[in-house]
Amino acid sequence: MSLPLLDSFAFTEGNFFLCTILFLFFAGLGTSIRWRLQNLSLWDDWISTALLNTFSSFFIGFLIASNPASEVITIFGVGLLGSLSTFSTVIMQSGAAIENRKGKTSVFILGSNIILGVLFAYIGLKLA
């Protein structure tokens, strides 16, 4: 399945410099979105992290299934969605739970991020 939006990035194919610039732009955008959403404090930190990671996993699965050019995967999959989701935040939050002697919470944080991430990546693959 080919998506028109992804096809519009065909001009990046083979253009290393342009691909790098777009990658940096979208990586910054993903990081900025994550930071802003986490600062809204709508949920506990680990819940917002799990939601962002699940969202990103779904769209990474969807992106991969649509079979775009490798440059598009680099720009959107690694740049935008990779910076929007992050496993390092999960590890930090899990470590903080362990320091506060909340071992079960730590296991739940890790487990929910891994299970939901894989599940929603699979759903994204199937829906594309």
Interval 42-84: pLDDT, tens: 777 888 889 999 999 999 999 999 988 888 899 999 999 999 9
Confidence of residue 13 (pLDDT cuts 50, 70, 90): confident
Residue 112, pLDDT > 80, answer yes
Q: Mean pLDDT for the chain?
A: 88
- Give the integer Cα–Cα distance in Å for 61 and 121: 4
Residue 88: predicted pLDDT: 84
Amino acid at 54: T
Q: How far apart are CA 52 and CA 101, in angstroms?
A: 25
Q: Work out how many domains the chain is built from and give that number.
A: 1
Residue 116, pLDDT above cutoff 80: yes
Given a cut of 90, whether residue 113 has pLDDT beyond it is yes
Query: Rounded to an integer, what distance in angstroms lies between the CA atom of residue 45 and that of residue 91?
Result: 12
Output the CA torsion 26→31→36→37 (10° steps). Answer: 100
pLDDT > 80? residue 107: yes
Cβ atoms of 68 and 3 within 8 Å: the answer is yes
Q: Which residue has the higher pLDDT, 39 or 123?
A: 123
Range(s) of the domain holding residue 76: 4-127
- DSSP H or E segment with residue 73: none
